[in-house]
Amino acid sequence: MRYEILGPMADRFDEVLTAEALEFLIALDGEFAARRVALLDTRRARRARYASGQLPDFLPETEHIRTDPTWRVAPPAPGLVDRRVEITGPTDRKMTVNALNSGAKVWLADFEDATSPTWRNVIGGQLNLMDALDRRIDFTDERGKRYALGEEPATIVVRPRGWHLVEKGIVVDGRPISASLVDFGLYFFHCAHRQLDAGAGPYFYLPKLESHREARLWNDVFVLAQRRLGLPQGTIRATTLIETITAAFEMEEILYELREHSAGLNAGRWDYIFSIIKNFGQWPDFVLPDRAEVTMTVPFMRAYTELLVRTCHRRGAHAIGGMAAFIPSRDPQVNEAALGKVRADKQREAGDGFDGSWVAHPGLVPTCREVFDAVLDGRPHQVDRLREEVAVTATDLLAVDKTPGQVTAAGVRANVAVALRYVDAWLGGAGAVALWNLMEDAATAEIARCQVWQWLHHGTPLADGGCVTEDLVRSVLAGELVALVDGRDGPDRDRAEAAARIVEETTLGEDLPAFFTTEAYARHLSPAALTDQR
């Protein structure tokens, strides 16, 4: 197999893109590329069945796995026993230091939704992780502020990009390689031994899985990777994000496929709702109200999180709760109100049996830790709380029509505004974007543009009068673009206009694109031309 590096070789990139590391990637690609493509075909076929009226259910062919009470996942690995607070964020140098020093138990080092996949971000992020493990990450920024790694850094858990994405900077036999294998492979090759020497291990979060067969593919990747580096099987540990409706019906099977390598499951929010719309958005019973109204306490979200905790604890696995995305403000009243909501959300999770939860900003770590400290009461987790009283049916998981709330003109505008500003920032190289006191990532833009598509598709009535029409959406988008480009010229203005075209194309078409990131990456993020526009 012939490979070629199309991305430019910036300073020290040769330390990441060594001949040995590239040979490792090519070996993974040669073994698993065809299976990845076949599983993506299966996704498309499943979505077509749902479009024709079929609904998901628990799989009859795997009932024996769900009803077998004897199997368990591997015990928690070093550094993953206590996960009461996890912070998420991209792998730029500043975030790497701040996250590791945040006081959180775990840092989700994100190559996926919180990272714009420019070549500089992808390879530079790998270099930052290597430097962090070698304790040479300290630096001084352009304002003279010093960033230095503390003595008790968080455990690093890397989230590679999903199976649906490719990396254009590395091609094999003329085709781009799987982005999942690039992010996983480079980190594992360079950092597995570094992590083991530090008393931890190579740990991962697995995003956007839609079935246990996709989990099986990851497990087989792990087996081969460990074999090639001479590491014992089970050295790798992975937490799977249950952020698609199809995966919610296969939680037990996903844990089972990964059981030698499993570190638990995580309950997402925006991606899960995005998955609901993507699969069933053409049906009127699945129309959702304004995004802010779809909280974790509405019936279908409550069913999903309750089932996740029960499933994890039954199998000896950690259950990790969702994101608190608030960014602390200088306004004390804004802070007080927002932190009250964060505290209530974390109290719900801890009370439901979750073993830890996510925050997006170091300023939220104390609030989350305080809540879980009170519930855990000296224990590292509450996996022994089995939640045997929970009984969730397929009907419960699909009870979207029981979601209270309404669609408003403000909700339409909010979704368009967030989608436009996020895509603009993403095209400029930023994947974690502060918008209106919230840290937003790609999942936010996906749910925002999907909701607009769904409301438009159904001509959804607005609580304030009228309904969602193409003219309304175009008018809102035009107004938001005017506000965004104010004071811009040249490439910055061009980028904003490109972002508006992406939002238009992914909200106003007859069909709903599966992801905005795939087409936007293919058309707008060239490895050579768009390495960093911030």
* In the block, residue with structure tokens 């550094």: 79
Q: From CA 162, how far away is CA 112, in angstroms rounded?
A: 7
Q: At what angle do helices 270-280 and 442-458 cross, to 10 degrees?
A: 30
Q: From CA 450, how far away is CA 415, in angstroms rounded?
A: 9
CA 89 to chain centre: 10
Active site residues: 159, 441
Neighbours of 333 (CB within 10 A): 8
Q: From CA 320, how far away is CA 241, in angstroms rounded?
A: 9
* In the block, residue with structure tokens 């992406």: 502
Taking the chain, what is the end-to-end CA distance rounded to the nearest angstrom?
A: 36
* Beta bridge mates, 177: 167
* 262, containing H or E segment: strand 262-267
Neighbours of 230 (CB within 10 A): 7
Q: Strands of 386-531 (E only): list them.
A: 433-435, 438-440
Nearest to 263 by CA among 134, 488, 105: 105
Q: From CA 22, how far away is CA 170, in angstroms rounded?
A: 9
Contact 297, 309 (CB under 8 A): no
Q: From CA 504, how far away is CA 243, in angstroms rounded?
A: 25
Q: From CA 3, how far away is CA 510, in angstroms rounded?
A: 38
Single-letter amino acid code for the residue at 154: A
Q: Specify the DSSP class assigned to residue 3.
A: E
CA torsion angle for 368, 372, 373, 379 (degrees, to 10)? -140
Name the pairing type of β-strands 356-359 and 433-435: unpaired
* Helix, strand counts (H, E) of the chain: 18, 15
CA torsion angle for 29, 31, 37, 43 (degrees, to 10)? -120
